[in-house]
Structures are given as C-alpha cells and as structure tokens.
A and B are shown apart, each in its own frame.
Chain A
C-alpha cells in the first residue's frame, strides 16, 4: 500500500479539545488592572512613597514565592501572577507611612506561611493578604495605626503630620470632626493606601464584574448587610448630630469595607463556590465587620471579619453543597416517589 502515506500516532486526548483563553494568569492580571485606580489615588494623596510600597510588595511577594519554590524544589509557580496580586492587595491595605521592611515581613508571611506552606495557590484556607495585614497590625501596632495626612489635608492647614481615620475618630467619640460624605467618597481622609478613595475602588470593582472575573454577589451582600446592620443599630442607639441613614452611609464609606468587599472577600480560593454559600459568607463578613466596629476594641474590623469568614468557608461549602440545588433535589424527590410507589405496589 505504497500510495497510502497515513499519519499515525496523532495526539489522542479526551474532549473537549478547546479551552478558554482566560487562564489563571489572565484572571490575576485582570485583578491587577482593577487595582490601578486605587494605586493611582494613593499616589495622588500621599506622593511617591505609596507607589514604592506597592511595587516593592509585589516584587517581594513574587520573590518569596520564587525562593520558596526553589528551596523546596517545586516547580516555579510565580508565572500565575497570584503573588503579585497578593503583594498589591496587601500594600493597598497598609498605612501610607509604613516602613517598607515591615511591609516585606507582611509579604513573606502572606506568601510563605499562609499560601506556600499550605500547598500553594488554591490550597490556602485564608486570604494571604488579609493574614499578612493582621500579622503586621498585631506586630507593629503603632506604625500600623499611624495615619499620615493626605497632601490636600495638609494644604488645608491641619496641625501636625498624622491624624486618625474617620472610624478612629468615631471610636474616640470625636464624630463631629469626621470628614463629610463627599470627602469620604473621594478618599481625602486618613486611612490605608487603597481603602480611602471609594470611587477608585468602585471603578476597579465594576471592571472586574463587567469582565466576569468576580460575581457581584459577594460585594453587594457584604456591603448591603453592613449598611442594614449599621442603620438598625443607629436607629436604636442614635449618634448625636446625625441620623441613622447618614451613619449607615458613613460606615459604608469609612474604613476598609468597600476595598475588602471587592478585592479581599471575593478571593476565589477562600470564598464559597456556590451562590448560596457566597450569600451566607458575604452576609457574615458584613455582620462581623459591624460587630467589631461597634462592640469590640478595634475601630475597624473588615480584615478580621473576612479572615473569620474565610475559615468558615469549608463549613459553608460543606452544607451548601450537600443541600445542592437543582437536579440532586429533584432526583431525591423522584427516588422518594419511586420508593413510595413500589412500597404501595
């Protein structure tokens, strides 16, 4: 059969033979893109140093992962870009004047202890950036709660170099000196790098929702719960000089809840996989954020609330998956019916 020049030994694999172009790396790059507005606003408020902090944290996080992989003789996983995202998110939750070496300690904790030791991306039980931030907060409490005034605040003639965050002022009983809602929306106030400018966060968040990287369920339920909780609380315990609605909006715009809701709570790995679970999880985040703000000894509790719900995630997944919507329920009903029928017959 000389004329039959057949091609044998082709690649044989299971279907499907097409895959999406949206891989893990592109997903992470989308998140990094979404963080750009917040990073730019941090430079607008505090100058060049925040940019160094953000880029430094990204580089150091990637380096930590690379070195860990080298030392443990594991394949290099840095190309999925998740370390860059962790570094950027961690940096954006830090105060503008934090010494960079402290930030690097946070990065190392995030990447090596919280992520790599658990088996790398996808296996960590808590959001690395959140834990990194909490470790820094507990280790370097003074530096982590020193809030440099923004350039605009100093231009407006405030005394000294540092002040309190709006939630800190509320916590200290100085509600009358908190900034107005417009200032909060624009972010001209004391706070962490990325958390102050709500408009920039929303721009990034909407970008992620439109490109379908994140589902809007978690941010909306998180912030909705927080708002409703605050509104009801201030109806019962009124704050002097403001109505409950104002206070609820104030809580929404102050602190790190909006940033956390869009960028930390939506982390795939540490949030539930089903929509039902996501709703429970996000409601828990909102609830515990307000519990910590109102009843505990910290003025802000978004990071603790998200961490707490992170570790609840396996439990939420377990119960939501077992009570699965759709065919499983229908199949169970059918089985039951079939059993009854055979029992009767």
Chain B
C-alpha cells in the first residue's frame, strides 16, 4: 500500500518449516532429568522434596504461595539425586532438582481427572496442572483465566499462528491433538462464559486449517471459527493477533482481558483438554529439534527437565560441531551457553546451528533507510531508540514509546546495516524501567 496500510506491518522472515511433515516421536525416558524451580515468570518455587527421596511421575516437587506461580511436578519416577544451584538459560542462578530415573515411570496414585463444579474450581485445577503459557511467555494460565473483569470476557482466541521460522511443534499439536484443542477450548469457554472462540492459524498450515474446519463441522460446533492469518512474522504475537482478529488495539501492559479477550497458545489449550480427561500435570512437551548441526530434524515428545544433550542424542547426535543452541525460535529464542541446559515448560524448539549459520553479522552504520520502522508491527522507530539509548536519554526513550516494543526482532532482522536494534530496544526498556523506579515519586 502506498499511502496507508490497514494491516499491521510484518516482515518476510522465511519459514524453514522442515519438520512440518514429521510426526511426533516419543523420546525414551532419559537416565536423569533436571527440573528448574522457576519455570514461570513469577516467584521461584520452594523445593518440596529432599535428596535421596523417591518420587513418582506427576508428584509435586516444587510449589510456592507467591502470586504468578504454578507447582512443578516430577516428570520421571526415581530418586532425587541432588538439589543444586546452576546458571539457567536466562543467565541467572536457579535451583534445580535432579532426579535419577528408575525407568519404571510409576504414576503418582493421587493423580485423577479433576472434578470441576464452578469457575474457582476450574481455576484451581488449572493451577494444580502446572500449566503456563506454552507459547513462550510462561505466564501462569490460571492467572490468565482468572481476570478481575471476568464478566466482560466474551471471546477466546487460540493462537496456532506459529510464525517463528523452523518451529512446527504447534503445527504437529494441531494435526495430532486437534480433539484436545477443541475440548480445551470448550472447557475454557464454558467456565469463563465466553461466547465466541477463534482458532488463528497461519495460511502456510492449510492442513491444520482444513482439519479444524472439518472437526468443528463434524462435532456441530458453530461458535468456534478458524481464522486464517497471512503467513508472515510476527502474526502470532498476542497483541498483533488481537488486532488482526478483532481490530482492537492492544497497547503494551494492557491485559487482553480488559478488551474482553483471552488469548491462549494452541498447545496450552490442547493440554487443558487432555488434563481434564486424565489429570496428568504438565510433565512433557512436544518440541521441534532442527538446525544444520543436528543429524535428524524432527518433532520430539520429551519429559520436562531432559537435557538438550539427551534430546540431540535421540535425534542422531550432532552432525557438525554446534556453535549456537537456541531454546525457542530464531527470532525470539534464547541462545544458551551449554547443552547441559534442560527442557523447560515453555520451550517449543531446540535449534542447533553450526558455525556456518551461527555467525554474529558485522554491524555497519545506520543509513536511515527506515526499514526498522516499516517492519515494526507497532509503527515504532527503533533507529531513534538507538540514538536515544546512545545518549542514555530515558525521557526521550519513553516519549518514543519504547515500552511498546515487544522485542519481536523484526527491526534487527530487516536492518541492512545489521545493527542489533532489538537488543538495543531491550536495553532501552531496562533503562526506562530503571529511570522510572529511581526518579518516580
């Protein structure tokens, strides 16, 4: 469009969906899992087990009373061999419970499908399930489903966009677990009294779109619609998705619930459907393993806490010397420092790149081309952030609305000078937060 664009800006980041056709393979139980006690954005959990204790599958091993938290469950049965402090993938220090598997996978006999009678009962079951937003944010689902203005919520949007390159785990969930997705949606819509449901899927996953349309027709469900999205990045970002589907603008810091919306990841929704049937908490995760340094790219169902190394070994080992390992997609995923890192709940991919693809591009001067602005879904101006950050001008950064940035990485991707704009945005946001906590009130 020349003088106006109705759709939010997006970029063409490439798809690389190499594993879209490979069905999920269940990984054998690893000899050892290491479970982080801070798997959500809230306070870390307190360890409930002791070294040497025998634990069963699904047994609660960590919990806390703090808000924004969920319990953590053992993903294998066996013996707690150690409780250690280690550097986590975020770079901070974290407590890990290490369980040596006995290979029996004995289930905790207390695990039963939850009996739900009212909305608080549903929220409680969601908390007990250990579910966090599996799209990447790890926001506890029970908090999301319990908004202050429950009465206003009328629409559930389930996000199956999966706009990150390489990742196909949500796609496989949609193809392999579609019934659970719909059951989960119906449960959430029932207990939250939401009338309308949308399943948003990018149009490069036509098989998933067809599958859901057919299933909804078969089951005679009319208040859930499939909403195809253009296959561009970052259409799967919550705030972008909301605007694409409802036309409502959702600024940073505004809860979708205040607009009458609940947005859930498709895998989270499928988990809700499954949990209500069998009562097994979140202890395993479907992830995409891909990248040029892994021998067999595929989708793997692995227990939470499995080390990257074990997962790679299941995928035939390293094809080349790994130089960069990502937890998550290449646009927003986190580069980890070691393959000792273990699978966490909100992981949806492990990408392993050799030195051929893991380079850090050489940065050159800004040529003021404005591509970062044109690519920004929220019409921000990253090049101006970079100037203001260079001057450490928190006030100017705030005026330029840096806090609206969701760190999708589109600006860095399109920059012809290869400037690390998204990184500068993150630093800028930290600077603004620091300035407001120092100077405010």
Contacts and interface: CB of A to CB of B under 8 A. Distances in A.
Interface of A: 4, 6-20, 22-24, 26-27, 77, 80, 82, 119-123, 216-217, 220, 268-271, 273-275, 321-322, 324-328, 330-331, 334
Contacts of B366: 122
Given A20-B416, A27-B369, A10 B323 contact: yes
Contacts of B14: 18
Nearest to B424: A14
Given A24-B364, A27-B369, 8 more contacts: A11-B358, A12-B324, A15-B412, A27-B367, A80-B364, A269-B368, A271-B368, A328-B401
Given A7-B322, A331-B401, A122 B337 contact: no
B323 A327 contact: no
A77 B384 CA distance: 24
A324 to B, nearest CB: 7
B55 interface: no
A10 B336 contact: yes
A27 B249 CA distance: 34
B339 interface: yes
Pairs of residues from A and B, 9 with the lowest C-beta to C-beta distance, nearest first? A16-B409, A326-B379, A122-B365, A14-B423, A268-B369, A273-B370, A8-B338, A17-B330, A18-B330
Contact of B413 (A19, A123, A331): A19
Nearest to A313: B368
A219 to B, nearest CB: 11
Interface string B419-441: 01011001000000000000000
B383 interface: yes
A283 B229 CA distance: 37
Contact of A7 (B3, B339, B360, B365): B339
Contacts of A216: 2
B338 A18 contact: no
B339 A17 contact: no
Given A16-B413, A18-B14, A325 B337 contact: no
Contacts of A26: 416
B331 interface: yes
Nearest to A122: B365
B302 interface: no
A82 B323 CA distance: 33
18 contacts: A6-B340, A7-B325, A7-B339, A10-B322, A11-B335, A13-B360, A14-B420, A16-B409, A20-B414, A23-B418, A24-B367, A268-B370, A273-B368, A321-B381, A327-B378, A327-B380, A328-B401, A334-B251
B381 A16 contact: no
A223 to B, nearest CB: 14
B381 A19 contact: no
A308 to B, nearest CB: 18
Contact of A10 (B324, B369, B401, B420): B324
Contacts of A119: 365
A77 B415 CA distance: 18
Given A8-B337, A331-B404, A15 B369 contact: no
Most central of B3, B251, B365 by chain A CB within 10 Å: B365
B92 to A, nearest CB: 14
Contacts of B400: 321, 324, 328
Interface of B: 2-3, 13-14, 165, 249, 251, 309, 318, 321-326, 330-340, 351, 353, 358, 360-361, 364-370, 373, 378-381, 383-384, 399-401, 404, 407, 409-410, 412-418, 420, 422-423, 426
A220 B422 CA distance: 32
A23 B337 contact: no
A207 B4 CA distance: 22
Nearest to B417: A24
B207 to A, nearest CB: 25
Contact of B337 (A9, A22, A274, A326): A9
A289 to B, nearest CB: 22
Contacts of A13: 324, 335, 360
Contacts of B323: 10-11
Contacts of B381: 273-274, 321, 324
B309 A120 contact: no
A12 B336 contact: yes
A122 B418 CA distance: 14
A301 to B, nearest CB: 25
Nearest to B326: A17
A261 to B, nearest CB: 15
B416 A10 contact: no
Contacts of A7: 309, 318, 321-322, 325, 338-339
A330 B251 contact: yes
B369 A18 contact: no
A40 to B, nearest CB: 27
A126 to B, nearest CB: 13
Contact of B325 (A10, A268, A321, A331): A10
Contacts of A14: 335, 420, 422-423, 426
A123 B368 CA distance: 9
Contacts of A220: 2
A16 B337 contact: no
B324 A11 contact: yes
A322 B401 CA distance: 11
B365 A23 contact: no
A24 B340 contact: no
B121 to A, nearest CB: 35
Nearest to B322: A7
B55 to A, nearest CB: 21
Contacts of A269: 367-368
Given A8-B338, A268-B368, A327-B380, A19 B251 contact: no
Contacts of B410: 16
Nearest to B410: A16
A18 B340 contact: no
Contacts of B407: 15
Most central of A8, A23, A334 by chain B CB within 10 Å: A23
